[in-house]
Amino acid sequence: MKPFLTDILKVSSCVAIIHILQTSPFPDDKTGSITTDTGSVAIGGGCKKGLPPPLIPGRKTLFLDLDETLVHSQVGAPPEHYDFTVHPLIDGQEITFYVLRRPEVEELLRAAAKSYEVVVFTAGLEEYASRVLDRLDPSGEMIAHRLYRDSCREVEGGKLVKDLAGLGRDLAKVVIVDDNPGSYTLQMENAIPVAPFVDDLSGDRELQRVMRFLEFASRFEDTREAVAFFLAGEDRRPVMSPVMSSGSGIRNEIFKFDDR
């Protein structure tokens, strides 16, 4: 098995896997060549499944990417560090994935579920991703919904994007956390970018940062405004969002959130 088959499997569908076998071996979902959960190849179907009505009206919805945002996984020889394995059937073949949890992933899910509707939105295959999510949230109490590849939208060039519109949620009440900027190009104003996680168990603090954002965003009616303030605060450059109302009185507070 090729060492990078893990990435191929996550993005593959029965109509596409052959076409990407000879592309870059490096998992980099920022380049769109081979990606961990966002494909760069033409995929049949897509973007057909949405969400049921919210259980708690008015609650904000947090869309979390899976691969390189919450976990990193790979196939082949067992890596030095991994937390568990999953064994999905891919095209009739059982594949072993070695999965490493990102630091603070459980803390993030637990904290988010208290005040947000948590939706994991991955462009990965359900056969693989559902098994990983069963391990991250075995009781099913933290993740309200799961959206897989068939909920992504295929755009020009065959790339998959996570279109938050049309899912039955008010865009003023949603935020997406994803390591791949290509995933949220349709709703950039709703996105908190995170650095991709591979195996930095000692220095990775990105999910702590996401938790700070969730707390920060609780003060805002419009999550897009919260995103704009939060990201501006990290850059130490206040930037006004197109949806930002004037005189919100919290500008001075954004600099509390720059200790990444």
Binding positions for Mg ion, 161-200, rule CB under 5 A: 179-180
Q: Of 33, 2, 7, 13, nearest to 198 (Cα)?
A: 7
Find the radius of gyration of the CA atoms of the chain: 18
The count of residues interacting with Mg ion (CB under 5 A) is 7
- Taking the complex as a whole, the smallest distance from the CB of residue 191 to Mg ion amounts, in Å, to 12
What is the distance, to the nearest Å, from the Cα of residue 2 to the centroid of all Cα atoms in its chain? 26
Pick between residue 180 and residue 190 the one whose CB is nearest to Mg ion.
Answer: 180
Q: Indicate whether 67 belongs to the interface with Mg ion (CB under 5 A).
A: yes
Pick between residue 69 and residue 187 the one whose CB is nearest to Mg ion.
Answer: 69
CA 249 – CA 111 distance, rounded (Å) = 26
Give every CB contact of residue 130 below 8 A, 6+ residues apart in sequence.
146, 148
- Look up residue 83 and give its two tokens: 């937390």
CA 135 – CA 137 distance, rounded (Å) = 6
Q: Indicate whether 206 belongs to the interface with Mg ion (CB under 5 A).
A: no
Binds Mg ion by CB under 5 A, chosen from 7, 37, 204, 206: 37
Catalytic residues: 65, 67
Binds Mg ion by CB under 5 A, chosen from 65, 104, 137, 222: 65
- Binding piece for Mg ion, criterion CB under 5 A, among 9-17, 33-41, 105-113, 198-206: 33-41
The residue ranges that bind Mg ion (CB under 5 A) are 37, 65, 67-69, 179-180
